[in-house]
Amino acid sequence: MKTPIVELSGVSKTYGDTAALANARLVVERGEMLAIVGPSGSGKSTMLNIMGTLSRPTSGTLRIDGHDVNHLSDRELSALRAATIGFVFQSFHLAPGVPALDSVADGILYGGRPLRERRRRARQTLQQVGLGHRLYNEPHQLSGGEQQRVAIARAIVGAPPLLLADEPTGALDSRSGAIVMALLNELHQNGTTVVVITHDRDIAASLPRQVSIKDGRIELDSTRPDQVSA
């Protein structure tokens, strides 16, 4: 039996007297594609940060790829994150003046690979996302949709098994958004676990599984009602 890629057991996150996430229980199996959906302030960004090991839970247990993050040092946690998780955000976070090829190559900068190898992998990944003709274009020379595809390429160049996408179409027009969602679906079909955080219920409804969150609590899990917070 395979170990889930993500497992939250009674996870809470508090800031002072405010509970941003309360008693969250969630299991994400390898190869799944799901949406975590909710309005602004619902706690979905907090859940993203915890699932991405960018923030540690106040209480409860988080396991990523079978590892209990509470038992990992900061260095071990950084290594797990680098090997396991790719991030895509609403803002593309592409450095001005840096060509697409180098932006993507930087995605595996800390893997110890030589520059030639990193650029070879970056070229292949940009071709995978349909940007083989934009290798040397800088961000200002790319459309919003193309910039997001560069950001996705940077996230997946190291072949992480888990991709967390936070409002990946939020800054795009509908056509560019549809292209990005088609790409995420293709990655899922090829075996990547994809979690999309969104406020867009149409996008959520198009994915195989929907987890609805409000006021820091999971209200609905379309395929696992037993995981809804008490």
Kindly report the pTM of this predicted structure: 0.92
All structural domains of the chain, each given as residue ranges with its CATH number in brackets, are: 6-90+158-227 (3.40.50.300)
Per-residue pLDDT tens over the stretch 121-178: 999 999 999 999 999 999 999 999 999 999 999 999 999 999 999 999 998 999 999 9
The β-bridge relationship of strands 67-68 and 18-28 is: unpaired
Q: What is the pLDDT of residues 185-226, one digit of tens each?
A: 999 999 999 999 999 999 999 999 999 999 999 999 998 766
Instruction: Output the pLDDT for position 228.
Output: 60
